[in-house]
Structure 1
Amino acid sequence: MSNGYRERRPDPDTLLERIQRENRGKLTVFLGAAAGVGKTYTMLEAAHQRLQEGFDVAIGWVETHGRQETERLVEGLPRIPACLIEYRGKRLPEMDIDAILERRPELVLVDELAHTNIPGSRHVRRFQDVEELLKAGINVYTTLNIQHIESLNDIVAQITGVVVRETVPDHILEEADSVQLIDIPPEELIKRLKEGKVYVPAQAEQAIRKFFRPGNINALRELSLRFTANRVDKEMSEYMREHSIEGPWPAAGRVMVCVSASPFSAQLVRAARRLAGGLQAELIAVHIEAPARRFPIGDKERDRVIRNMRLAEDLGAKTLTISGENLVQEIIEVARAQNVSSIVVGKPHHSRLWELWHGSLVDKLIRNSGGINVYVIQGVAEQDQDAGIRTMPKDEKINWSQYVGGLSMAALITIFCLLFENNMGLVNIALLYQLPVTMSAFWWGRWPSYFTALCGLAAFDFLFVPPTLTFTVADIRYLWSFITFMIVAFVIGGRTDLLRTEAASARQREKSTRALYEFSREIAAVIDLKLISQKLVKQAADTVGRSFVVMLPDQSGKLSIWAEHYLEATKKNTRLPRDPSETAVASWAFEHGQAAGRSTDTLPSAKYLYIPLKTTENIVGVLGVRVKEKKMLPEEKRLIDAWAGLAAIAVERVRLAEQAREAALLLESDRLRTALFNSISHELRTPLASIVGSVSTLLEAEDVYTQAARHELLENIQEGAARMERVVSNLLDTARLESGMMQLKIDWCDIEDIIGTSLQRLRETTQRYILDVKVAPDIPLLKADCVLLEQVMINLIDNAMKYSSRGSEILIRAEPKGGTVIVSVSDNGVGIPEEDLTKVFDKFYRIQQPRHVSGTGLGLSICKGIIEAHGGVIWVERRPNGGTTVSFQIPTEEKAGLPERLANK
């Protein structure tokens, strides 16, 4: 295949995306530069046209804002009633998504895509409702203003001076099938405002002064036109690629934005998203997490980092969080590893003095970037938004015993120095005071070590620096010693605490990795789903430090709890309540394949976070995690996702093993049925034909045959009937053994009588062979089922005669041995090949030989089942001079080795 052909063929990703969207509903967005341009009016007009064309159209939610023209267009369109949600003592209307899904119209109208739902709704935002409707295959018409697009949020704030809180991720519009721009001149829009067609008069007057100024409207119109033009350009590029139209294609690259706790980091993410869109490049958001010195769980900066990373994900970025001390080095290494072409960083707001002391991160980044472009973005600090879902602050209490411990060590050093002051200089005494500082930092952290350093310095000045017993200093040079002492103490304490923190973080990561590895190794050979679930929740709870539950569907598809593990310290408060609301959230996550519950935007009022256990093809269950906070840390979320992924693989493996086992049983059953039919068709038809032929001959020509001939015909009938009886008996015995219904009737048995009875039943056929029977005179009686042992002897003798030529010798031996009786039957037949010695007791096994041997191949299999039911063993051996010996051994003690279910009461 030539390179030219590969370049002209359609993009596989584009084709795959198009195939996946065939089952989704079509989304049409009516986009406007501002409120009042006529988006809802145009949407309703388009809906009437679809209704006239025969489409099933329904209104899911429309805001008329009291406009008469809009209300007239609502008339004539079917409307799905809103649901009422209880909030702060009031019942407020909201779009009823369940009613829409039940009604399933071809097209539903959903106004105001950026709307925030009333707390208690299924989803936090209305665009999430629209996504669910699209996944259900329902087409949606919706409206949106340009200022609500997430990547343009900061630009709109700069233009209008108003920060828009309700925004929609860019990928919603990128995945839309159609975006229709609704635009009117600024003068007409202001006229409509003054006429009260957009807001009530009081609101309209205020809006004209603050937001709807002609300059603002023109700027927003330009944004709308540019956004629409970019979309048209993208659609044109996709069309050219799908139809193999040659053109100048831009080289794909990657844009990386550095996310931090900076107040304007969100603006960097949006700027990087616009840059990546212009370059048609992939966006990567990276957060370099320094050792935890300033980021306790739940504090303001950590919450800001979480919001910024979530914003990057909403804008379609791939997010990475790594740990490292050297920020510049880590950024460059990640950029090179991810093949990044451009890096976006923020312009620092530090003072010149700070940069002289610490160095400029931007300058270092530019110097070390090599061939990577570096974009420095000027930002303005944003006001912290109420994210609605925030991390609960960590409740850290001061441990005064640590400070007492530091003070005690300083006191011990002081006593030691006082005792040996004459033999030590001031320099050595000062060095000794560094010891408790280092130990405090190593054991308890930086603040106890700083306190210890202050105590040590005070003791050193008061007791050892002249003049003693005062805090005054006679020699000014000691002040430099004090400053040096404190600097060294602070550096040692800070670095020791840092190493301690890094070691703890490394131990936690190692613990998590080891737990995942041990769990995957433990369940590698386990196919018990209950046991796997119990191991999962226990190890996951111990590793993450949260309570876990595993919920799997039953035969009807209803979720139920298979395993649960709760932390002992909080067991009373974390136990999963058996209430319908929690079950409903878990069921929603299972049905839709999306995380729901606590710490998500879907049904966040739940007590648990429910993560679907996804495999490549389906969803096999739900993992529930008890989350006290409204937001969890990114690294904790990744760890829980890892457990969920491992659990999904384990559950899928068990189910595949069950399917494979069922398939093997089905195959074995089919093979057994085929062999059974083949055996019956031959082993029953042959003696039956002999019986029918002999009877017919006797009936039709009774006077023709002599007495001897008639006797021979009757013997044929008797032999055929006996043969059929053995076949049917073997089949029935096999069925009883397979079903476990065989019950032993235990009684005293004489093995010599059993052998004699067996030979008597086979007397017609044994006359053709030489029988050599030897039974030891001192052989004891057996506690066994005499009838079944007789069946074993008949099968063994009959099997020996089948594979021996007429007139050959058959040996039967019985002798006691060590509390058991050993019985053997030997023939002089063709023998059994060495490689087949282990197969002779399999059902339907037949030795391959030239002459035909009758039988179903069930005799030895039945013998094995009966002997093992008596607690004995059976085996086969090759005779040195040819032939085969089949032996079995049964204990003589009463019920010795006998399975309890088979013993007779």
Structure 2
Amino acid sequence: MPTPPDLRPSPDALLAEARRDQRGHLKIFLGAAPGVGKTFAMLSAAHEKLRAGVDVLAGVIEHHGRPETRALLDGLPLLPLAEVHHRGRSFPEMDLDGLLQRHPALALIDEFAHSNVPGSRHLKRWQDVEDLLDAGIDVYTTLNIQHLEGLNDVVEQITGIKVRETVPDSVFAAADAIELIDLPPDDLIRRLQDGKVYVPDQARRAMHHFFSPATLTSLREMALRHAAERVDRQMVDYMRAHAISGPWPSRERVMVCLGTGEEAERLVRIGRRSAERRGSAWSAVTVETPGSLHGSPARQAALDAALRLAEQLGAETRTLHGTDVASTLLDHARTTNVTLIVTGRPLPGPWSRLWPWYRPLADRILAGSGEISVLVVPPGERKPAAIAPIADPVPPFPWQAALLTLSTIIGATLLGGLIDHFDLPLANISVAYLMAVLLVAIRAGQTPAILTSLACFFSFNFFFTEPRYTFAITDSQNILTIVFFLLAAVTVSKLAARLRTQVDRLRENARRTETLYAFGRTVSAAVTQDDVLWAVAHHVAATLHGRSLVLMPDGGTLRIAAGYPPEDRLDDTSAAAADWAWNNGRMAGRGTATLPAAGWLFLPMKTARGAVGILGVRQDSDQPPAPDLRQLLDMLADQAAIAIERTTLVGDIETARVATERERLRAALLSSLSHDLRTPLVSIMGAASSLITYGPSLTDPQRTDLSQTIQDEAERLNRFVQNLLDMTRLEAGALRPKTDWVDLPDIIEAARRRAGRLLERHTVRITLPPALPLICVDPVLIEQVVFNLLDNARKYAPPDSTITVWAGHDGQTLTLEISDQGPGIPPEDRERVFDMFYRVDRNDRQSGTGLGLAICRGIVTAHGGTLQADSGLNGVGASLILRLPMPETVPGVPA
């Protein structure tokens, strides 16, 4: 029986719709080229919204002098442009702050791909639009198809023009509506010839470079295709969100393999377009091998730029490590369920023709791909190498490496002379030179090592082969020796230099791993938030060899909570970048597209509950952090956010615990008041009412009994109030013993007499040694303790039972134990009975507030003693054991 299709709405689609409802809506008027009428169509649509009562405001409109476009501005509210100062000049730009403050329902923003003047909040206008959308403002904007980042290389190939102002494909894909403004190429060229596209003195130049029928037709086709793909994605999203069944394709994933050549950025764009057509996730991956560690800085910079471009286009970037590139890529592809691999096929180099067994990377991936599809991108046209200007000097050879190379060659030559002096074989001299090459390779790197091998080759030939002191070689055996020595020296230099590079990289990785481990260990052990913040600042600064800041919210603003080295303030631009990163949850500041003039780079520290703070870093370089360093920073920020949230949660838990305890005490107090106040008051009122009402008819014993009831209940009420007052004094720290030298038997007897009526139904047996030493205590407070202990024993001891009072000492501690024959105290409750308002859960319904024992322990603790509960004599009942320290000397007793 076939499984019925799942007709539930897609959670991802519903979540995407919910996110769209929370922010402003973006509508893009898309055209194939300038002059098709995008701005005209946008302004016409804005007039319709204005007539419908929508609050419309034009933020920036570029009419390029066209009268029909300028006429549409009449009647539209227009926000004045802001003046941005750069290098002593003023430039008009869109007033982003004014738009946010004015907060219209609909903002008109022309030229979506425009680059802002340096000094603006963002580098690009589309980032300004993102701020407006986040503020809940709907936006109409215009865009030409050649400004899409993913089509940049295709547009350059078609038009021959490198477009510098681009919009990420992910931003275009996130638009809520796309309206295609189409115009046939012939009509557009006619408008250009009539001067309706650009001003007349620019028309012929634009016609030559851009406005040709073939070019416009290609651009028009791309615009139509992208608009159609957009409509198709909207339809699929709608069907998924509303549980409309359909032939859904399985989830695909595209992986782009990047090298260090010029084709990296081109592969990224092709991979982006492939993923977009499939509606799938995609990633950009590079493999770091021991051989790739020797790549030139320019190639590494190109690779870093390609990885940053992939991140901007929405890809997940990864740097893998392995010895074989093809197998490493294929293993990663199978692990991450990749369905399409995009790789390039470079132009054949001069060395590839000399090695017939050489197989390009694309061929090796194809051979091992199995069921994974592989898209092999043919090489583009090789661009001529740029000629460096004469003014640029050649990078200087480090003088330390030069000194090491020269001294090593001289030392190896002298050692060779010593070997030659003893008529040892020539091979021993070559070994000495090989050791010199190896030493330079390990200490200085590959380039000095190759230069050393060449110098050793000539030195070996000049000094030690016949004829000597010339570069001529007459012996054929010496020729082979010299040639093999050169090959061995170059090979050793490359291997040793590679080993040195690997060791350096391993040390760097180990240092970063140790940093992460030490950071995690430190923040996990930190108790307070301040400890966490200072650990974050110190470890980030140590990792970057720079400076770091941690900013935390405080009353709606950000304050510097920690810094290494310590910082107390930020300049206005950096403070604005930190605020923007906090409000938008994205990276801002130095090296980014948002407020790049700031001196700091700010990253939000986020958890599942949202941002908890801002991490600021500052390096000497103006370039953004490399992808691997960015990933390290992200990991540190994530760990820091979790640690900060943990300390916050600990504080919240402690606050909740205190609140719960306060509520428990309040409930216990109310319960105690309702019972222990009401019961004696009812008894007093009843006895008094009986005396008043039936007084003349009562006998003398009856009146005496009622009067005694009033007195007993009044004393009970007085004890309860006294306990409350004592507990309040203990909690406030106002109960301070007024000590004096007293005799313990006197205190016990006074407490027994005071509790005389309470103990009428019990037998009190007091066992004391014949000569107890005096003790230095507050007699009033200790008497209250003994009274409370006797009162507690009679409450739970059955009538006619015995309460035992025993005292003794061992020379250092005086012990007083009061035992009863009641039900006893369970072991698990023997500590909790000293908590306020706590009573052992019994069914005997004995009266009591649960304050007596708590007051006793408080008084005993104030005297430096202890009070504990234990089982009674012979395991029957309960014993309360009081221990007080004894002084070293007693008045009147010889020491």
Fold match (TM-score > 0.5): yes
User: Structure 2: which amino acid aligns with 1:75?
Assistant: D
Of 857, 865, 870, which aligns to 1:872?
865
CA pair 590-354 structure 1, distance change in 2 beyond 3 A: same
Pairing 1:771–2:769 present: no
Q: Does 1:817 align with 2:849?
A: no
Match of 2:305 in 1: 307
Residues 189-247 of structure 1 show CA distances to partners (whole Å, capped at 9, x for unaligned) of 23332333322210123212322223322222222112212222222333344444444
CA distance in 2 between counterparts of 1:352 and 1:452 reads 26
Other-structure match for 1:591 = 583
SS of 1:635's equivalent in the other structure is: helix
The aligned amino acid for 1:188 is D
Q: Distance in 2 between matches of 1:747 and 1:123?
A: 79
Deviations 1:506-533 (Å, cap 9, x if unpaired)? 2322332343234334444544111122
Residues 696/250 of structure 1: CA separation in 2 closer, same or farther (3 Å cut) = closer
Secondary structure of the residue aligned to 1:628 is coil
The within-5 A match list for 1:430-509 is 430-509=430-509
CA distance in 2, matches of 1:691, 1:170: 87
| Secondary structure in structure 2 of the residue aligned to 1:79 | coil
Residue aligning to 1:339? 337
Equivalent residues of 1:821, 1:890 under 8 A apart? yes
Residue 903 (structure 1) aligns with: none
Aligned to 2:674: 681
CA distance in 1, matches of 2:530, 2:886: 42
CA separation in 1, counterparts of 2:730 and 2:788? 16
Q: How far 1:702 moved relative to its partner?
A: 3.7
CA distance in 1 between counterparts of 2:568 and 2:213 reads 57
Report the residue type matching 1:164 in the other structure.
Answer: V
Aligned partner letter, 2:99: I
Contact preservation (8 Å) 1:812, 1:826: yes
Q: Secondary structure at the match of 1:890?
A: strand
Partner of 1:389: none
Q: Which residue of 1 aligns with 2:380?
A: 379
In structure 2, relative to structure 1, the CA distance for the partners of 1:76 and 1:521 (3 Å cut) is same
Q: Are residues 1:711 and 2:720 paired?
A: no
Counterparts of 2:107 and 2:831 in 1: how far apart (Å)? 70
Residue 720 and residue 112 in structure 1: after superposition, are their counterparts in 2 closer, same or farther (change >3 A)? same
Q: CA deviation at 1:423?
A: 5.7
Instruction: Pick which of 238-247 and 539-548 moved more.
Output: 238-247
Matched, 1:883 2:877: yes
What is residue 730 of structure 2 aligned with on the other side?
737
Alignment partners' CA distance in 1, 2:790 and 2:663: 31
Over aligned residue pairs, what C-alpha RMSD do you find? Answer: 2.8
Task: Tell me which residue corresponds to 1:368.
Answer: 368
- The residue that corresponds to 1:902 in the other structure is none
The 2-side partners of 1:352 and 1:442 are apart by 30
User: 1 CA distance for matches of 2:427 and 2:545?
Assistant: 48
Which stretch of structure 1 is more off in the superposition, 820-829 or 602-611? Answer: 820-829
Task: Report the Cα offset of residue 294 of structure 1.
Answer: 4.1
Cα pair 1:268 1:377 within 8 Å, conserved: no
Q: 1:177 to 1:763 in 2, by over 3 A?
A: same
Which segment drifts farther, 671-680 or 806-815?
806-815
Indicate the larger mover: 609-618 or 543-552: 543-552
Change (3 A) 1:396 1:528: farther
Q: 1:581 pairs with 548, 573, 581, which one?
A: 573
Deviation at 1:420, TM superposition (A): 4.7
Shift of 1:643: 0.4
SS at structure 2 position matched to 1:5: coil
1:648 aligns with 2:657: no
1:324 aligned residue (314, 318, 322): 322
CA distance in 2 between counterparts of 1:399 and 1:270 reads: 39
Following the alignment from structure 2 to structure 1, what is the Cα–Cα distance between the partners of residues 397 and 228? 59
- CA displacement 1:263-286 (0-9 Å, x = unmatched): 233222222222333333332211
**Inter-partner Cα distance in structure 2 for 1:754 and 1:209:** 116
Paired with 1:145 and 1:590, the residues of 2 have a C-alpha distance of: 33
Q: Which residue of 1 aligns with 2:659?
A: 666
Give the match for residue 615 of structure 1.
607
User: Which residue of structure 2 lines up, in the alignment, with residue 256 of structure 1?
Assistant: 255
Contact 2:56–2:106 (Cα < 8 Å) also in 1: yes
Deviation by residue 1:329-348 (Cα, 9 ceiling, x = unmatched): 32322332233333222331
**1:860 matched residue in structure 2:** 853
Q: Hey, what's the Cα distance between the residues in 2 that align with 1:48 and 1:57?
A: 9
Deviation of 1:459 after TM superposition, in Å, equals 4.4
Q: Which residue of 1 aligns with 2:40?
A: 41
Q: Determine helix, strand or coil for the equivalent of 1:684.
A: helix
- The one-letter code sitting in structure 2 at the alignment partner of 1:474 is T
Q: Displacement of 1:740 after TM fit?
A: 4.2
Q: How does 1:110-189 map to 2 (within 5 A)?
A: 110-189=109-188
Q: Is the 8 A contact 1:263 1:382 kept in 2?
A: no
Q: Which residue of 2 aligns with 1:600?
A: 592
2:619 is the alignment partner of 1:627: yes
Report the Cα distance in structure 2 between the residues aligned to 1:578 and 1:884, rounded to whole angstroms: 67
Deviation at 1:863, TM superposition (A): 1.6
Q: Distance in 2 between matches of 1:187 and 1:370?
A: 49
| Structure 2 equivalent of residue 699 of structure 1 | 692
Is the alpha carbon distance of 1:384 and 1:714 closer, same or farther for their aligned partners in structure 2, counting shifts above 3 Å? Answer: farther
Q: Is the 8 A contact 1:346 1:379 kept in 2?
A: no
Using the aligned pairs only, state the percent identity.
41
CA distance in 1, matches of 2:795, 2:57: 82
Aligned-residue offset at 1:173: 1.9
Asked if the contact 1:40–1:143 (Cα under 8 Å) also holds between the matched residues in 2, the reply is: yes
Q: From the superposition, tell whether residues 433 and 839 of structure 1 become closer, same or farther in structure 2 (CA, over 3 Å).
A: same
Q: In structure 1, which of residues 828, 834, 844 is the aligned counterpart of residue 837 of structure 2?
A: 844
2:754 alignment partner in structure 1: 761
The residue aligned with 2:88 is 89
Q: Partner residue of 1:265?
A: 264
Q: Deviations over 1:642-685 (max 9, x none)?
A: 00111111112222222222222222222222222112111111
Deviations 1:684-720 (A, max 9, x none): 1111112222222333344444444433333222221
Separation in 1, partners of 2:521, 2:822: 52
Question: Contact conserved, 2:740 with 2:776, CA < 8 A, in 1?
Answer: yes
Whether the 8 Å contact between 1:288 and 1:324 is mirrored in structure 2 is: yes
Aligned in 2, Cα 1:765/1:616: closer, same or farther, shift over 3 Å?
A: same
Does structure 1 residue 806 correspond to structure 2 residue 799?
A: yes
In structure 2, what is the equivalent of residue 519 of structure 1?
519
Q: Could you tell me which residue of structure 1 aligns to residue 825 of structure 2?
A: 832
Name the aligned partner's letter for residue 541 of structure 2. A
**Would the alpha carbon gap of residues 740 and 355 (structure 1) be closer, same or farther in structure 2, given more than 3 Å must change?**
farther
SS of residue paired to 2:835:
coil
SS in 1 for 2:90: strand
> Secondary structure of 2:561's partner?
strand
Asked if the contact 2:741/2:775 (under 8 Å) is kept, the reply is: yes
Q: 1:23 to 1:448 in 2, by over 3 A?
A: same
**Farther off after superposition, 106-115 or 76-85:** 76-85
Q: Give TM-score scaled by structure 1 length.
A: 0.91
Contact 2:545–2:619 (CA<8 Å) still a contact in 1? no
State how 1:556-567 maps to structure 2 within 5 Å: 556-566=555-565
CA contact (8 A) 1:32 1:144 kept: yes
- Please state how far the C-alpha of 1:68 moved relative to its aligned partner: 2.1
The question of whether the paired residues in 2 share the 8 Å contact of 1:549 and 1:625 is answered with: yes
Contact 2:536/2:640 (<8 A) preserved = yes
Could you tell which deviates more after superposition, 786-795 or 637-646?
A: 786-795
Asked if the contact 1:256–1:340 (Cα under 8 Å) also holds between the matched residues in 2, the reply is yes
Aligned mates of 2:495, 2:511 — CA distance in 1: 24
Unmatched 5+ residue regions in structure 2?
387-391, 890-895
2:790 pairs with one of 786, 793, 797: 797
Q: What amino acid sits opposite 1:584 in the alignment?
A: A
Deviation of residue 798 (structure 1)? Answer: 0.9
Q: How many residues align?
A: 876
Deviations 1:49-81 (A, max 9, x none): 111111111111111222222222112122222
TM-score by length of 2: 0.92
Separation in structure 2 between the aligned mates of residue 445 and residue 345 of structure 1, nearest angstrom: 32
